[in-house]
Amino acid sequence: MLLEDCQGNVQRALSSIAWRGVDGPAQDLQSWLSAVITFQGSCVDMFPKGEVRDEVNATMEKAREISSNALAIIKQGAALASMIDINGGPDDGDDDANGKGERQLEEEGEPASSASSVPTWVPSEERKLLGVKGGRRKAALTPNVTVAKDGSGDFANISAALDAMPEKYTGRYFIYVKEGVYDEMVNITGRMANVTMYGDGSKRSVVTGNKNIVDGVRMWRTATFAVDGDSFMAMKLGIKNTAGVEKQQALALRVKGDKAIFFNCRIEGNQDTLFAQAYRQFYRSCVISGTVDFIMGDAAAVFQRCLLVVRQPRQGQPAVVTAQSRRDHQQTTGFVIHRCQIVADEELAGSNKNKSGSSALVTTYLGRPWKEYARTVVMESIIGGFVHGQGYMPWEGKDDLGTAFFGEFRNGGDGANATGRKEMKGFHVMGKDKALRFTVGHFLHGADWIPETGTPVSLGLSGEEE
């Protein structure tokens, strides 16, 4: 089973390059090769420490070296192309940073689209596929399928709707999930590209599960909701893993599909809530909660205007928001927390009442490096005063942050004072030029794929979009 999982991960990454070809945009090739390195490392991590793991690691070493060298060559070529203006000049941070004229989805709290209509946020080219002219629908048009617990839809559960998807379809495939609690394991497989799943609200249309490692399930198989297909989009959905803190690692959401978008969703759990495993991912206006390493993995992921809620961990544990796992300095991966709020939930706030930062009973950190070249950036965000002044902690058994990169830019809130972490190896107070590299426009090349979905997005820094 371990070998099958290992082979499947690496094969997926290699097939991304094979079927798309190597003549695509440099940023795509960089993303796919970064994923190859991620999955090569994941293969090793799947095995328990010991002789077998050492053998697998030795087998993977040469492949990692080849992938890293290829990635370096592509990055150098892309840099040269920008310098000599082959592709219209370098991406300097203010190109299309305002996203003017984009069609934005409705924020949560506005009326949900009716099951008997095409949602207003469907892009114009896809509305044409559904028979909509001039932005107005014809009568009795519906999403491809509707899921409803009460029997009023095409299917009573989400998995059945996915199983019934046609092998081939044109454009996006829309799945509307009516209000209800769906206790099931949802898997958007690799063949299910361009799926949009939307509900009646993140507290009303909820997918829940409770698998965890204490009960004998391997970490990557505990996910309540798993996304392997490319260009997946979710909105107004709740995704939970209700296993308690004593059950340790228990994923609510695992994502390893390229160009995934989550908008107005709630992702709730405890340890390892969100496994942002690989490729490019964008989270907008989401609520993400957990205790330890509750945003983890090696994706290139941006969290924008999200509420990150730190919950009470097990006794004696610190709370940690992120655990990024970039393994190679050539990879284009990392986590960016942009214009978010980092807050404590009521229980944690109660435990730390009248205490803050270093004096808190439960110490809370913004991140720690899961792998050698972990990269996490927090910018233009509000950081609660309950966060330890050190900001970041080493991985277990390590003395410092090593070769990791933790950057901050123009944050606010009582926990934003960087004085206690300025001298830490691996920590950086960034200037504007450096921060621009981690905007959606630069880091994800988001202008190429996010606005066309109608998702609200700030491609640049605050105050530079309008």
Catalytic (active-site) positions? 272, 293
Q: Which residues pair with 283 in a beta bridge?
A: 262, 303
Separation CA 117–CA 295 (nearest Å): 35
- Beta-carbon contacts of 163 under 8 Å, excluding residues fewer than 6 positions away, are none
CB 251 within 8 Å of CB 224: yes
Question: How is residue 222 annotated by DSSP?
Answer: -
Separation CA 334–CA 406 (nearest Å): 10
CA distances from 444 to 89, 218, 454 (A): 17, 30, 16
Instruction: Tell me the one-letter amino acid at 128.
Output: K
Strands 260-263 and 280-284: parallel
Question: How is residue 25 annotated by DSSP?
Answer: -
Kindly give the interhelix angle for 51-83 and 26-45, rounded to the nearest 10 degrees. 170
Separation CA 244–CA 266 (nearest Å): 17
CA distances from 407 to 336, 379, 425 (A): 9, 8, 11
CB 177 within 8 Å of CB 201: no
CB 348 within 8 Å of CB 386: yes
- Between the two ends of the chain, the Cα-to-Cα distance in Å is 52
